[in-house]
Amino acid sequence: MNWYGIKAIYIHEMERFRRTLFQSLASPIITTSLYFVVFGSAIGSRITEIDGINYGSYIVPGMIMLTILTQSISNASFAFYFPRFTNTIYEILAAPLSSFEIVLGFVGAAASKSLIIGCVIILTANFFVDVRIDHPLLMMFFLILTSITFALFGFIIGMYAEGFEGLQIIPILIITPLVFFRRKFLLY
């Protein structure tokens, strides 16, 4: 196993995340704040508690998982597609790395970015509602599992995408309707 190669891909991708830190973190913070302002005032005034939990606190886990899911897909798909678009993928393919090591580097970085953004969502939610984590180890297990699974899915999307539009076909046509489908059943 070429740990230096995996580390190089991982550090390169995390450095790209650092360069666009404001863009990467501003969007989830604004989205989380808008969820609390819009849904908190519109629905929260009608639904005060769900099974003894404040409505605002009730939607926090869903917002965290939704953000991690979408960020994992988009980070991994863009991270792999962009070198293909700029024809710099040949540098990675010419390196003494196996396919598994390349996937491990890209997926590890995408999952790490998603977990960082998930932690930012938790911190942002604390400004609006009381967030209590009863099972932190179980929560971390599911966050890591979700981020890795959907980063792998995003990597596959990035591999087969023919253009920038192709990066968004699966998330828009499959993931977004499933999110709204799930919410329909939670509200009734």
Mean pLDDT is lowest, of 3-7, 48-52, 66-70, 79-83, for 48-52
pLDDT, residue 150, reads 92
Digit-coded pLDDT (tens) for 36-66: 777 776 766 677 777 777 777 778 888 888 8
Give the mean model confidence (pLDDT) for residues 81-94.
81
Give the predicted TM-score (pTM) of the model. Answer: 0.83
Would you say residue 187 has pLDDT above 70? no
Residue type, 188: Y
Residue 87 belongs to what domain range? 3-187
Digit-coded pLDDT (tens) for 130-186: 888 888 899 999 999 999 999 999 999 888 888 887 777 777 777 777 766 654 444
> Which distant-in-sequence residues (6+ apart) come within 8 Å of 128 by Cβ?
33, 36, 40, 56
Domain tally, the chain:
1
Q: Is 146 left (phi over 0), alpha (psi -120 to 50) or beta?
A: alpha
